[in-house]
Amino acid sequence: MLAVLGLLTTFLSFLYFTAPSIRKFFAGGVCRSNVQLPGKVVVITGANTGIGKETARELARRGARVYIACRDVLKGESAASEIRADTKNSQVLVRKLDLSDTKSIRAFAEGFLAEEKHLHILINNAGVMMCPYSKTADGFESHLGVNHLGHFLLTHLLLERLKESTPARVVNLSSVVHHAGKIHFHDLQSEKYYSRSLAYCHSKLANVLFTRELAKRLQGTGVTTYAVHPGIVSSELVRHSFLLCLLWRIFSPFIKSAWEGAQTSLHCALAEGLEPLTGKYFSDCKKAWVSPKSRDNKTAERLWNVSCELLGIQWE
């Protein structure tokens, strides 16, 4: 017993003294771009908290007009007020957007298009993770409906404004767990089998496939797109999993802050000379290895067509 306690004490002491170095390693890359954004318009979904909020803060600091598009308007207004005070940028606005309801998505897009003549950066940041089985207002499984289909429709509705504002960028937040995902076309709504963790993985693979296919279809338009893994980040995203909440607390010294998690999104939104890498997947502010499944052009095209059918839209 004494030997075990001795080993445990030694291990904890090692962690204590090496924590700063380990923390620095896990912090990942930092966006080095000095690009300023006066006159530019940005939409960020789910920017009332976490990574999205820190992304909005930095883009506002650079002078952009930032739209926080979120479901909880009160939280959005609180975040916007904080960002306005911090950045001295009064052009931080909040608009209602519920990605689990296509009526809300269309209402947001209609209002935005009536309000703004330009859109330079769209960051599809919002998402749900490891929810108990549920369906959106339109009958889609929640992970698929919010993380993929909601952003797919939003991008479709705002695309012409992006094309009119070139150069413009679309940043889609995915995750390293897309490697464990698979697109089950025979059971997209997970009605035959449902796993909370796998449903999230499948939706993150869909994000990467969407980015790849979108880049192919936007060639020559001046609009480029990138998929992002923000890292393992301390955020509200894990709230539906008691185990992850516990692990996040235990290993909090080694988990990225929301500011650190926002860096790759910022890199893909701002870095100059990134256009040749449109459609690629990024982690820690650099191009990263992607799952072979997400390089399958046939799957990407089929997912695109099925998504259009589910949403009742035509998008060539």
Annotated active-site positions, please?
200
Interhelix angle 196-217/151-163, rounded to 10 degrees, is 20
Q: How many CB atoms lie within 10 A of CB 148?
A: 30
Query: In Å, how far are 19, 45, 228, 264, 284 from 22, measured between CA atoms?
Result: 5, 31, 23, 20, 15
Q: Rounded distance, CA 201 to CA 195, Å?
A: 10
Q: Are 94 and 140 in contact (CB under 8 A)?
A: no
B/e letters for 5-20, b = 16+ CB within 10 Å, e = fewer, are eeeeeeeeeeeeeeee
Name which of 269, 207, 277, 263 is nearest 66 in CA terms. Answer: 269
Which residues lie below 8 Å from residue 84, measured CB to CB, with a gap of 6+? 60, 90, 92
